[in-house]
Structure 1
Amino acid sequence: MSNDNDIRHGRHCVFRIHVHLVFLTKYRRNVFTKAMLDDLRGIFASVCTDFEAELVEFDGEDDHVHLLVNYPPKVAVSVLVNSLKGGSSRVIRKKNYPNLHKKLWGGALWSPSYFAGSCGGAPISVIRQYIEQQQTPH
């Protein structure tokens, strides 16, 4: 999407839903290099496309990554996260990066936990005030 204000349309809905995701490496090990992060960007974008979602932004450090994903309401965030983590782990491990197997063992790239935060739109306080000011019929 070219503009943060772009509103998407489904068959029976109009939406603009973003989620901020943070994934940690297993044991919080420092394993990522720039090349690995570049590969992850492509993998995550591909998985998002499969879910009719869009990877809006991606970056990371040596032990974690941040994703900003625009997704449709029919997608459960937990299902999206499982596919993002599972698919990326499989592909990255197949590429045989030199230090990856030394720092991580047992077949897992990611910690089982993750952070997911909704973001975008008006602050909750503004939405609450708007709803409170609705004209209730008598």
Structure 2
Amino acid sequence: MRVQFHAVGLEQDIQERAGAGFDAPATASVKARECLQRYFALLRHELASVQFSEAEALLLADATNGISFSADTARLLWAEVADAIALNKLDEKWGVDGDALVGKLRGFCPGQALAVADALERAWLRGTDMADALREVKLVKDV
């Protein structure tokens, strides 16, 4: 698969990693690919460090339906979930202790919040049964 993008807003980050070879497109592309590989590895690592019940994960999916998180907004996942619980009583709908779930989310480091947001977005893209999708993206782990 070939992927191309304009590095708007990433120029300085890529230049710092590509060094003097930044002006050579191949060098910048290699560094961008390496950075993505590290980022995806970090997401996998952080996702492995969190645990949700199926009901909690379904509540998270329900609360974030239609939301796209950025690097800046993923850290506020807890607030989005708290609002959805307050406004739509999702804790009652899914049989979850809403306060405990929001507390768990608030305690996440930025990497964990990004990993959960990423997993939720990937689950929605599956187009399958949400409980199955949440397992496929490893937001719910069968123990």
Relative to the length of structure 1, the TM-score reads 0.35
The answer to which structure has the higher strand fraction is 1
The answer to which structure has the higher helix fraction is 2
Relative to the length of structure 2, the TM-score reads 0.35
